Amino acid sequence: MFATDVLTGDGPLRRAAAGLAGLAGWRRLAAAAALGGLSALALPPAHALPVLLVSFPGLLWLLAGAPNGRVAFAVGWFFGFGHHLAGLYWVSFALFTDIGRFWWALPLAAAGLPMLLSLFTGLAALVFHRLKANGPAAPLLFAATWAAAEWLRGHLFTGFPWNLTGYGWVGVLPVLQGVSLVGIYGLSLLTVLVAALPAALADPRVPPRRAAAALAAGLALFAALAAWGALRLSAADEAPVAGVRLRLVQAAVEQHLKWDPAERQANFERHLALTAAPAARPVTHVIWPETAVPFFLDADAARRQAVGAVTPPGGLVLTGAPRLGMAADGGTLFHNAMLALDGSGAVVASYDKFHLVPFGEYMPLRRYLPVGAIAGNGAEFSPGPGPRSLRLAGLPPVSPLICYEVIFPAAVTDPDDRPHWLLNLTNDAWYGHTAGPHQHFAIARVRAVEEGLPLVRSANTGISGVVDSYGRVTARLGLGERGIVDADLPAALAQPTPYGRFGDLGFGLLLAGCLICGLLARQSR
């Protein structure tokens, strides 16, 4: 009965479309925010992808009733606000580690960040409205404008490519293999395109059977992508790197205790004890998380000796720690670093984080804000030179990534010196038992599939784990768990993936294809 009603033009779908298009004032904006909040359920850890078949058609119907560009921008902005408010609520949890000092930033983190990010969805809605798309052109042009806005959000003003629509597929590994071809932006574009297709079922200007056929074709596209991904997974080589056995240490130190002067030595000793725990098979290398050592280890010979004493024979301990550097004028620089120590306690290599967190690790508005960075207890970190491949004894070349450096597509390796694996050291204790750490781990898995490189992730309170080049988790320590996990290092793909070789070129071609086809369809109407 429902399908018949839809096809005859008097069904509940068309009544819903007309109802949303006819909303005005605050009701229109409230509906947009509610639909945006609903769309966030498609993201990790919920992975409720079917909600997109409701939220994006609903947004298109709201935009169909927008009388002018100003209203269209407002509809897009409120949709984005609901989306980011629900998807990024956990960011404000970081401030509660010292709420007495950073109480003033709570509304900025909870609502200010979603408000800024929503400018991109507002811009996408405005451009879509200006294109005057309707009928079969609407899903194509909407997907193109939405995906372009996501790409811009990931690159402008240092970039923040979180809450990308394509991350909803992390729980569906066969479909996720598509990012090896077109990256997460390309998978987002395809997802939005198919999710927007049901809007045409309620459009009286589109023949009902043509609208149904377009939706069927879109679903078939993802079925074909899943089939290809399943075939790719079935042919995966599961052989690990010979002679490498990793130990990931997750000490689960709560953030409010991490830098407490009375607790720092005990926290350090906890890492030492976990490192020295017996192993079923000999461990060759040990990995500690971001700032696991709350001291300037490169200038602390006694503690370096303590680390050397628990280092596997002939192996290394790779740990996050703050590091002192020297500026060109002779001043002191602070770096959020990774240090590699051998059995003698010598630092044999180091890496400095290059993509720092605004407001967390440096203050971009320091002239106007009389406070220092949140993560540095007031001090500001200085960036390193960029992605690097380190060559460490007994290990294949590795690209270290500290904290949220791993969230940036096509920016996790040195293009002139391709590594054989990715190493992500992070803290995540800032965000407690929220969606944030789950999202962070999911995003890191996508980088492994994009690049065709295994990823090893060591987190203070979780989630730590090992991910192979196809995004499969081979070892894991859950959120809040204290302990160790010993695991082999998966091998890299013999050849870079298309995305690893060409970056966002595939996404650009998809974007151009959607725009051209959408404009041609609009003209034919």
Question: Coil, strand or helix: which one is 475?
Answer: strand
CA dist list (Å): 106 to 111, 236, 447 = 8, 46, 31
pLDDT (tens digit, 9 = 90+) per residue, 373-413? 555 555 688 899 989 999 999 999 999 999 999 999 999 99
Contact (Cβ atoms closer than 8 angstroms) between residue 380 and residue 362: yes
Contact (Cβ atoms closer than 8 angstroms) between residue 183 and residue 506: yes
pLDDT reported for residue 402: 97
Q: How far is it, in rounded angstroms, from Cα 171 to Cα 502?
A: 25
pLDDT reported for residue 375: 55
% of the chain surpassing 70 pLDDT: 94
Q: How far is it, in rounded angstroms, from Cα 176 to Cα 270?
A: 37
Domain ranges of the chain: 2-234+504-524, 240-490
Furthest-apart CA atoms within the chain: distance in Å: 80
Mean pLDDT of all residues in 292-296: 95
Bridge partners, 316 (sequence order): 285
pLDDT reported for residue 208: 85
Read off the DSSP letter of residue 48.
-
pLDDT (tens digit, 9 = 90+) per residue, 479-511? 999 999 999 999 999 999 999 999 999 999 999
Q: Is the pLDDT of residue 7 over 50?
A: no
Of the candidates 235, 220, 156, 177, which has an alpha carbon nearest to the alpha carbon of residue 408?
156
User: What single letter denotes the amino acid at residue 501?
Assistant: R
CA dist list (Å): 512 to 195, 219, 505, 508 = 19, 21, 10, 6
Contact (Cβ atoms closer than 8 angstroms) between residue 34 and residue 79: no
* CATH 3.50.50.60, domain 240-490, yes or no: no
Q: What is the bridge-based pairing of β-strands 421-426 and 455-459? A: parallel
pLDDT reported for residue 8: 40
Mean pLDDT of the chain: 92
Read off the DSSP letter of residue 199.
G
Residues belonging to the active site: 290, 353, 403
pLDDT reported for residue 331: 81
pTM: 0.93
Please enumerate, as own/partner, the contacts of 263-272 that have beta carbons within 8 Å and a separation of 24 or more. 264/294, 264/295, 267/294, 268/293, 268/294, 268/295, 268/303, 268/306, 271/319, 272/306, 272/307, 272/309, 272/310
Q: Is the pLDDT of residue 1 over 50?
A: no
Contact (Cβ atoms closer than 8 angstroms) between residue 336 and residue 381: yes
